[in-house]
Structure 1
């Protein structure tokens, strides 16, 4: 494959031919080449190419560096550093695009090490891949120290140090060479003196002087000959000693080679044992990790079991058995598997529209008890059993799925997008801080001229087995208590049973006092906080950000704390604008429960009495 911006390195093993390794890069279309190639025997020209599997965190890069470090006879570390992870053309306006490079900034990927070992099959294989976190681990430090000791030992074996006897012999030879140099200089000095004497001697005694000089020279020459003979004899002895040393050195080299071969065999055995030890250590680490995960899972399940016990005691029901329809429970090594959950659809009429609610819980009976207690007027619909596909997953209602039946003229709008239930939230129903089940509210309205019957399917995503909910509604043939198209359908609803002042005559100071003195009564009326929040958002009393802060299931606020926060916002709005008090009374009546209607009347009476 054509590529550029890749990185390569040569692996020079002690017992293997040079091997070229190539990692990453881009193709001619600027796309990442996520692969690693090995070219064996490149020095002979008869090379072969093969891929070795590496994670994308290693190969998914270009413009990076790569270095091969020989750690032992059969182990090489490939050190890969930096690079870019993505290339794209960025539109800078005016129809012009410029190349845009995204560098790798993840500290775990900046420096990575691939450990290659030479197998018995005669090829390089991947032993392990280490990222930045692994480089600080105790296992890596121990492995690096082990390889460092082996490298130091090998370097010591390659250095030949002279023996004490060899050093003495070298010093002796150097001394002889210095003596010969001194003798030669003395001979030259005598010859120069003789020439000078011949020049200076004149007259009758020249022969005597010359004779004396010649006698001295003869004696000096004899001494030199004797010294030369001694040096020659010493030189012969030295040659014999050198020959003996060379013979012993050859014997030493043979013995050294035998030791090296033995060490090589020993290293091979040690390397094989290191592989076995590394494999056992890896297996031990995996076993420890699995045991920790199982312990955490068991602890979580025990906690869930304790929480379920609290839920059943708070509701007043004793469940000492699992309902057969709730699915099979298998206990294996203390881990609960295949847990089934219950889902229920129920309907409530809200003026001109129907409010459809889908609720989910671990226990169908607890869910029915909640609906019976808090929504006694509701019409119960379809109920299902389902299982989460993933242990820490979620289910989601797909309201935009294709429909088999016509739904012309019908409006189906969820109160929350996406309509998603996290498993952890569903499990918390019944705890002290979670008195309400997980629900999704859907407003359904049939306009005049709509098809008479609505059969709307809603598939569930995130379940182990395919499940589909159905909304069944019929077009109303009689007018509702309040005509949605009339002016009374606005936020200022006028009921015949109670005389409500026009919204613009509510005094903000009196209304705020009523809200402050009746806070406990409002909190205990049982109004659905999600319904209240949606209506307040509709009338722009709160904004979307405030809604998320109150209804977000990930906050650590209790239901009571959320209601307190919402009532503070309402009271603050009423203190600034008295009309908000009238809107709040209308919302209570739209809840369409006796408790909420009675509360609205009491608040109105309280307002009139002040």
Structure 2
């Protein structure tokens, strides 16, 4: 590999292709057989062996060879523009190289004046898989005579080159239609810039950093960072400010002519790698930066000067496995200085990188979220050590995959055990739930049966009370009517006899009167007391008994009044002894009848008391049954709560099992892919690596 600068490199599969640039043997002419010899060959670096080889191409290569922009889609490399190598001859042609056949194809000729002819710009692919792919071209250096007059774009003259300007023109080429379009621009668009780096972050978003801009008529390097996003033929720009970067105020230096690559598939987000460049004093910027394009935090990686102290070079990345990335740095210059060319004219001259540093390989290791540097190889050590390092990494990868497979087996076994336990728990819970439901149904049926029995007993008791009170009231009424009739008959009879016995009973009547008055007084008191007592005790069952007893008392009072009248009549009656004796006997019989009636009331009281006692026992049983029902209901509710908690736990277990199963499936698929062929996992970088592994 000979020295070169301002060239292009592109990774396709397991090869790095290097084409164009200022190089040894290049004739600075528009077109010549000697120049064709340089442009019709392409150099390929085998990423698995570390060996360079030069391969001839077929067809007509582009004439723009220095400061060309390039990008890749699958097996194709696309090239746009570039400086021809003489005067201000720039191109705007778009060409494609098929790396499978090494055949050139011109997609757009340089005669198309709708796009500015320019070099030292940038080009990336926009669009996701399955969608029409578009090539986005931004900025660069152009002759004033070829600038297109699009109102949304600007151009600035460059210091020391009155016939050249820098531009921020943006063009989109649709690969499906084969047409150029001019997009609309919004946001904080970048100024006219050249010598910058541009990388794709995702299918429609990119990042731009550094480059040369014109400030107050002087061309100087910048450290500006821009994000841009393409949507429906509109590019929206955003300028990142220094306060956005979270790493302790770290901000990249101003630079132009630097090189970059984007690392995908290792860290959590695409990582931008920037190496070298020229500062505002035309001195190399001796550093290497890694930028996380998700958080936009920057990190410096310590690398030797033989790697970083260069500009107008290229850097490419080869992801070997999830933890190892190999950077390939090619060509460039190490020194810029002005020299007299005669006639008082000063020109800039660049000193190119020479062996053993033309090609450098650096291993980056990503572990525990941190980047570190592995072996650094130059052109001498690459043939000796590079392939051996790859073998060691391949062995580590196989061991890693074996450990990962064992880990997956352990996880799978654990998941199966958890699933079995969950199934057993689920079955137990279902059985317990069925038992609880059965218990709840039987308990409810038993309680309903008890309620029905209580209702039947209450109904029977009520019927018995009603029947008893009806019979008792009828009996009392008949007895009372009979007694009342007998009393009335006897009173009439006594009145008839009193007249005849009035005289004979005068003396004894007085004594008997006192005795009878005393007896009647006691009987009245007893009758009233008994009536009141019965009325108070059973007023909730026989509300009409009190009224009837009062009626009886009234009738007895009337009888007493008649007896009193009879007494007065006896004072004039000639009959005394027989009448008084008969009167006394009849009154004694009346007292006996009242005593019999009082006894009946006592029997009624006893029966009602027994019924009340039975009813109290029934109500007590009902209360106990209700309390038992409440206790069982509490048990049932607690059990339902337990069942609900266990159901939730089972759901959680099943969810965790599903998630772990998904992880196992994903890891198994990844394991199969990685075990069978490493290139399956990294097919976007090295699709044929599996062939090398197989051998």
Please confirm whether the aligned pair reaches a TM-score higher than 0.5, indicating the same fold: no
* Higher strand fraction (1 or 2): 2
Q: TM-score, normalised by structure 1?
A: 0.25
More relative contact order, 1 or 2 (CA 8 Å, 6+ apart)? 2
* Greater Rg over alpha carbons, structure: 2
Q: TM-score, normalised by structure 2?
A: 0.22
